[in-house]
């Protein structure tokens, strides 16, 4: 704060008003930047995501909602599963998800890549 007082005193001695205004503006800007660099950033605590497990049923999803989230209707997904051969896919860690659920998760992840919390609510 002393820098601003000093700048005002020095600016009052200048004869040109534009030079005085520029000097005061420069010192105020410099002081503001110094204050920003000296403050420590405080991160807000975010609660951990609460995961609730529930089964996913494609039959319960309305066609409009499925089209919105999965980009396919339930009938189209049922037609695509045998064509893609998802029954024969070997998964890691001995998981054996339903092929329809697998295709739904893949399409949802491709369409909404950064919305894991929302998708975990949908798929359980």
**DSSP structure string for 8-57:** HHHHHH-S-HHHHHHHHHHHHHHHHHHHHHHSPP-PPP-PPP--------
DSSP state of 1: -
Domain shared by 75 and 109, yes or no = yes
Q: With a threshold of 0.95, does the pTM exceed it?
A: no
Domain shared by 64 and 115, yes or no = yes
Query: Is residue 90 included in any domain, yes or no?
Result: yes
Query: Is residue 72 included in any domain, yes or no?
Result: yes
Q: Tell me if 69 sits within 8 A of 122, measured CB to CB.
A: yes
Query: Is residue 79 included in any domain, yes or no?
Result: yes
Q: Which residues contact 118 (CB under 8 A, 6 or more apart)?
A: 112
Query: Is residue 44 included in any domain, yes or no?
Result: no
Record the tokens describing residue 64, joined without a space. 């409009």
Query: Is residue 51 included in any domain, yes or no?
Result: no
Query: Is residue 53 included in any domain, yes or no?
Result: no
Number of domains in the chain: 2
- Taking residues 114-124, what's their average pLDDT? 74
Domain shared by 109 and 65, yes or no = yes
pLDDT tens for 61-115 read 888 888 888 888 889 988 999 998 888 888 888 778 888 888 888 888 888 777 7
How high is the pLDDT of residue 30? 76
Query: Is residue 108 included in any domain, yes or no?
Result: yes
Domain shared by 83 and 27, yes or no = no
Residue with the larger pLDDT of the pair 10 and 43: 43
How high is the pLDDT of residue 9? 65
How high is the pLDDT of residue 24? 75
Q: Which residues contact 23 (CB under 8 A, 6 or more apart)?
A: 7, 10, 11, 14
Domain shared by 73 and 30, yes or no = no
Residue with the larger pLDDT of the pair 15 and 63: 63
Query: Is residue 50 included in any domain, yes or no?
Result: no
pLDDT tens for 23-76 read 778 777 777 777 776 666 677 887 777 777 778 888 888 888 888 888 888 899
Domain shared by 24 and 65, yes or no = no
Domain shared by 26 and 63, yes or no = no
How high is the pLDDT of residue 83? 92
By residue range, what is the domain housing residue 31? 2-38
Domain shared by 82 and 111, yes or no = yes
Collapsed DSSP state (helix, strand, coil) of residue 111: helix
């Amino acid at each position: 704060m002393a820098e601003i007082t000093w700048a005002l005193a020095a600016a009052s001695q200048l004869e040109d008003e534009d030079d005085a205004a520029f000097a005061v503006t420069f010192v105020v800007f410099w002081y503001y930047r110094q204050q920003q660099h000296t403050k420590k950033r405080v991160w807000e605590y975010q609660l951990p995501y609460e995961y609730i497990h529930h089964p996913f049923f494609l039959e319960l999803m309305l066609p409009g909602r499925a089209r919105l989230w999965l980009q396919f209707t339930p009938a189209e997904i049922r037609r695509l599963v045998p064509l893609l051969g998802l029954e024969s896919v070997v998964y890691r860690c001995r998981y054996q998800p339903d092929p329809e659920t697998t295709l739904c998760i893949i399409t949802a992840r491709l369409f909404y890549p950064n919305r894991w919390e929302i998708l975990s609510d949908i798929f359980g």
